[in-house]
Structure 1
Amino acid sequence: MLTADARKTLFEELLWEHRELVEAHDKCQVLPEASIDALKEQLANAQREKEQLIKQHQEELSAQKTSYQELKSQLVQLGLDHAKALEAAEADAAAKMNEALENASNATVVLQAELEELAKARKAAEEKVARLEEERKECNQLILQTDNLAHRLFPDSQTYAVKKVNARRPSQSQASLAVPWTPNDHLVALNARVSHMRAIDRNLSDIPDVASQLYRTLWPGEVVPDTFSLISDRLKGAGRIREWQCSAARAGADSVLRVACSWYPELDLDALTGVREGAETDLDPILAAKRQDRAYRIAEYAEMRTFIPPPHGVQDYLDEEEDEAEEEPLDGAGAGDAPPEAPAA
């Protein structure tokens, strides 16, 4: 079926052909008879061309119509295919969206569960940290109390403890030694006290035997007491040792007089009550050195192992010095430096 434009075009073509035919007819009226046959032939040719053109136009219109139908069918088919594809895409998108929503919902549930687990773990960690902090404070307090107790029990260890703490502080970026001790300082001090007492303890087992041997040496012939406390009471102080020093002096003097008397029987012993002033053996350095050398050689024969008590009415001057030393108060005795107080744990 021809469209309006196609009809209009065909009508205009036919109109122009009609005009050409009219013009040709008018020309034929004036032409001679001889050219009429030629004109008829031209007209027949024109008619044939016209029919050929009409046929060609019809074929082209038919081809266009066929092509239009094919294009229309293709367009309809494309529309149907597009609709199907759109429907399939919408269905696929809806399915994917539903799947994504389901996955998101599941992920939300899993994430919520993980968040709850993390919250529980965090709470447990905070409780553990608080418990460890409390235990640390208790441990620091225990260290402080233990070190103070060790200081009271073993006051002699304070010097070693302070030395260890002061030696450690510079390595811990603590230059000031006047800062109160920290729990770590008390721990170092406690370790120093224990190490010191351990070193002393290694020799404690030998003390009773050594004390017994010392007792037999200082009091030869006496029975050694049964208990260590009695031995310790007798060994306190240096009185007995000083008595032995005086005994050794008496033994040395006796040895010298024995030699002198053996060479000079007429020697008046009563005249030997002291040193005579102005004696050449004191003023002359050579004679003094010779006298000392001879005395030291004679002293080798003195009986040093036998205790010689002082004669009746004579008191050793060393005992008097010992009594005076016992009467004088000992400065700072028992007042060892206490460890600085640590801050409250």
Structure 2
Amino acid sequence: MKTNAVNETISKFEKEVSRLNVINGTERWLNELQKEQVDLLNDKIKHWATYAGKLNEDMADAFRESEKRAIKAIKEAQKGLTEPLEPIMTTMEDYIVAMDARVSHMKVLGVDVLQAALKAFDALYPTEPRPKELPELCGWLIAAEIQLSEWRCSAGQAGADQALKFVLSWYEELDLDALQTLRIGSTTLSDEEKIQKRQARAYEIAQYAAVHKFILDPTDSDVPEEEDQN
């Protein structure tokens, strides 16, 4: 009986040892698998960090004005650290924060500035259709100085036309051909009081002038004739 009990105990012990060996083997396998996965993940993180760093550098090169914004955002994100990282932008988190700051700057350039440019185009070239391509829009805006000069001429013509309307409404027989030059010796050109009155009246008349409507030069042969509305 004692022999059977001993044998049974030995058998249980051997089974327990075998079970522990299986557990130990499984544990070693899991540890090795975990190490492989950690190494793989670290490699991916390094790859992503390298890619993110390169992408951040490309964004910095393309939008140099965003650099201060990116550095400021990183320093803000590192405020909770006991010792801020030096140099700045060494971790994946740094790159993400920097790119996020740059993207907001890119939105200003790519969306807000574009909308402002289109509004400027509409104001400068009211008779022209909006360009569909950015290079074409840039070409129009580069010529803005010339167009502004045209607008000044247009506003001046509108003011002069309005002044003539006022005068001719009272003096319909006035010979317009006589208004090609200033009359020498006229006191309206030298008398200070008359000059001030003339300028004050001109200011009032100018308020009725169509200065917001672009007027083409009527003497320009390239200007198309108005269609007969009848």
TM-score normalized with structure 1 length: 0.44
Provide closer, same or farther for how the CA distance between residues 297 and 255 of structure 1 changes in structure 2, counting only shifts above 3 A: farther
Partner of residue 23, structure 2: 114
| Partner Cα distance (1:271, 1:167) in 2 | 72
| Partner Cα distance (1:142, 1:225) in 2 | 36
| Partner Cα distance (1:177, 1:298) in 2 | 67
Residue 131 of structure 1, CA deviation: 1.2
2:81 to 173, 177, 197: 173
Partner of residue 99, structure 1: 8
2:141 to 213, 219, 235: 235
Paired residue secondary structure (2:157) = helix
Q: CA RMSD in A?
A: 4.9
Partner of residue 269, structure 1: 182
Residue 145 of structure 1, CA deviation: 1.2
**1:211 and 1:231 in contact (8 A); partners too:** no
Provide closer, same or farther for how the CA distance between residues 161 and 244 of structure 1 changes in structure 2, counting only shifts above 3 A: farther
1:98-135 superposed Cα distances (whole Å, 9 cap, x missing partner):
33333222222221222122112111111211111111
Query: Is the counterpart of residue 302 in structure 1 residue 209 in structure 2?
Result: yes
| Partner Cα distance (2:87, 2:7) in 1 | 70
Higher relative contact order (CA 8 A, sep 6+): 1
Paired residue secondary structure (1:180) = coil
Query: Is the counterpart of residue 246 in structure 1 residue 155 in structure 2?
Result: no
Identical pairs, percent: 21
Provide closer, same or farther for how the CA distance between residues 128 and 247 of structure 1 changes in structure 2, counting only shifts above 3 A: same
Output aligned runs, 1:115-130, within 5 Å: 115-130=24-39
**1:164 and 1:189 in contact (8 A); partners too:** yes
| Partner Cα distance (1:307, 1:156) in 2 | 40
Partner of residue 220, structure 2: none
| Partner Cα distance (2:15, 2:131) in 1 | 92
Provide closer, same or farther for how the CA distance between residues 225 and 97 of structure 1 changes in structure 2, counting only shifts above 3 A: closer
| Partner Cα distance (1:134, 1:259) in 2 | 81
Letter of the structure 1 residue corresponding to residue 148 of structure 2: R
| Partner Cα distance (1:96, 1:231) in 2 | 98
Letter of the structure 1 residue corresponding to residue 156 of structure 2: R
| Partner Cα distance (2:26, 2:62) in 1 | 52
Provide closer, same or farther for how the CA distance between residues 161 and 120 of structure 1 changes in structure 2, counting only shifts above 3 A: same
| Partner Cα distance (1:276, 1:136) in 2 | 81
Provide closer, same or farther for how the CA distance between residues 126 and 97 of structure 1 changes in structure 2, counting only shifts above 3 A: same
Output aligned runs, 1:185-196, within 5 Å: 185-194=94-103
Output aligned runs, 1:19-34, within 5 Å: none
Letter of the structure 2 residue corresponding to residue 169 of structure 1: Q
**1:250 and 1:308 in contact (8 A); partners too:** no
Gaps of 5+ in 1: 1-90, 283-287, 310-345
Gaps of 5+ in 2: 218-230
Paired residue secondary structure (1:269) = coil
Aligned residues: 206
| Partner Cα distance (1:207, 1:231) in 2 | 12
Residue 177 of structure 1, CA deviation: 9.2
2:192 to 261, 271, 279: 279
Residue 229 of structure 1, CA deviation: 3.6
Residue 161 of structure 1, CA deviation: 4.0
**1:150 and 1:193 in contact (8 A); partners too:** yes
| Partner Cα distance (1:223, 1:280) in 2 | 48
